[in-house]
Amino acid sequence: MTVKLLAIKKTAARGARLRSCPYRHRNAKHGFLMVVFAGCSVLSACGAARTASLQLLTADGAHVSSVRDSLRRGEPQFKSALAELEADAKQGLTVQPMSVMDKAITPPSGNKHDYMSQAPYWWPDPSKPDGLPYIRRDGKRNPQIDKITDRAELERLSKTVFSLALAFYFTGRQEYAQHAAQLVRAWFLDESTRMNPNLNFGQGIPGIVVGRAAGIVETRFLPEIIDSETLLKGSPTWTESDRQKLKSWMGAYLNWLETSRLGREEATRGNNQETWEEVQVTALGLYTGQTDVARAAVERSRAAISLEFEPDGRQPRELARTRAWDYSIFNLTAFLSQAAVGQRVNIDLWNYRTIDGRALRKGVDYLVPFATGKAQFPYRQITPFRPSALHALLRRAAVGWNDPKYRALAQQVGGGTALLDLTFP
């Protein structure tokens, strides 16, 4: 199916939901259409909800709470994993504050507070003296993109802060919370270093465009930042003022996603970029108290299942890429994230199935034989084929469908980490 046809179908599906103001269409009341991420409340296969004292967006909150209880009782089950986490957190204590001001290149706006990055799969045209305009080589990363540091630093910030916050949650050691708070303030809150809440200049292409909707996938780490804030709530170093300022920033960025040309364009891509954009809208909507916005985003993800999956579980748009294995997992990871968080707005994506059988579980099951070696992956994968890349997805699936077979499959394909053991059953 072509991109244009997908966009037409998506637009038609949404048309009835638009308000009179075209820039606030996602706040419209919707009729029902029906885990990088599982939330703390997930439905079992029979539809019964698990309850937890901790609500997270990118990890299983019930499990995280139970791990802390186990550690406090002195049980040995998670001590080794905690030791690895603390080693990461201690390394995180040495990480200096990062900000969008670090980049050597100034965005077209003339304001370094604006986030900026370059499209990873675009290269200088060797037939042109100046290389412009750049040409696309899908799946082959241009190392030139690393000259603009915002993309890499935002990912590093997210991973570092989450390790520090989780280590604080388990141990109560204030030095972890203090440093995590310092890092978050530098990127989001401090006037001299904060990022402006927009992505007008994400994934620009030299000679073609200064910013693209595709850049929005680079802020997919924001839900992890929100989870870190949740984990820091027991520390006096993370104040109510900090919390409100971060909510204000996230609310402003959510507004940009909802109203900007690039944000609205990203919402009609019909591939992993759209899915990850909806994950961000859902997470930021819940965090800022805009439940209607979050619910609408989950409903759109449910509608997207019929467009992005075949009845046998294939994802045609992702399988057309030169890294088909990686992108299939990448898109499914976003969908399972939505499925987990969707329970908080009473929408069950886990068990949703179209009339002709398209479903998230079909998507996961389609990939399993290739990871276990029962079948050879028949699509292009120009980077090494890694069965273990499916591990985290299978762990999330085990929780979402309350099915231990996925946990066993995850162990079979390998790729487990201490962080996964601490954040998922």
Provide DSSP, 62-119.
HHHHHHHHHHHTT-STTHHHHHHHHHHHHHHTTPPP--GGG-SSPPTTS-TTS-EEE-
What is the model's pLDDT at position 148? 98
Range of the domain at 232: 78-266
What is the model's pLDDT at position 41? 35
Rounded distance between C-alpha atoms, residue 321 and residue 382, angstroms: 10
| Percent of the residues in the chain that have a pLDDT greater than 70, as a whole number | 88
Q: What residue type is assigned to position 356 of the chain?
A: D
Q: Mean pLDDT throughout 210-235?
A: 97
- Where does residue 398 rank: exposed (0-12), middle (13-18), buried (19+ CB within 10 A)? buried
The more confidently predicted of residues 391 and 52 is 391
- Which CATH number does the domain housing residue 143 bear? 1.50.10.100
* Domain annotation covers residue 47: yes
CA atoms within 13 A on the CB side of 157: 28
Which strand (E) or helix (H) includes residue 279? helix 272-287
Regarding whether 337 and 218 lie in a shared domain, the answer is: no
Decide: helix, strand or coil at residue 292.
Answer: helix
Do 345 and 294 touch, CB atoms closer than 8 A?
yes
Q: Summarize pLDDT for 305-335 with one digit per residue, the tens.
A: 999 999 999 999 999 999 999 999 999 999 9
| Percent of the residues in the chain that have a pLDDT greater than 90, as a whole number | 87
Vertex 215: Cα angle to 210 and 220 (nearest 5): 155
Regarding whether 230 and 82 lie in a shared domain, the answer is: yes
Q: Summarize pLDDT for 148-172 with one digit per residue, the tens.
A: 999 999 999 999 999 999 999 999 9
Number of folded domains in the chain? 2
**Which of these, 199, 190, 108, 109, lies nearest to 150 by C-alpha position?**
199
What is the model's pLDDT at position 323? 98
Regarding whether 222 and 370 lie in a shared domain, the answer is: no
Q: Summarize pLDDT for 333-365 with one digit per residue, the tens.
A: 999 999 999 999 999 999 999 999 999 999 999
Do 123 and 166 touch, CB atoms closer than 8 A?
no
**The pLDDT of residue 29 is above 60:** no
Regarding whether 323 and 255 lie in a shared domain, the answer is: no
What is the model's pLDDT at position 5? 43
Q: Summarize pLDDT for 274-298 with one digit per residue, the tens.
A: 999 999 999 999 999 999 999 999 9
* Domain annotation covers residue 331: yes
Which strand (E) or helix (H) includes residue 201? strand 201-204
What is the model's pLDDT at position 425? 96
Regarding whether 324 and 234 lie in a shared domain, the answer is: no
Regarding whether 188 and 130 lie in a shared domain, the answer is: yes
What number of H helices and E strands is found in the chain? Answer: 16, 4
**Sorting pLDDT into bands at 50, 70 and 90, what band is 60?**
very high
**Which of these, 224, 350, 348, 347, lies nearest to 296 by C-alpha position?**
347
Rounded distance between C-alpha atoms, residue 111 and residue 386, angstroms: 41
Do 301 and 3 touch, CB atoms closer than 8 A?
no
Regarding whether 335 and 216 lie in a shared domain, the answer is: no
**The pLDDT of residue 190 is above 70:** yes
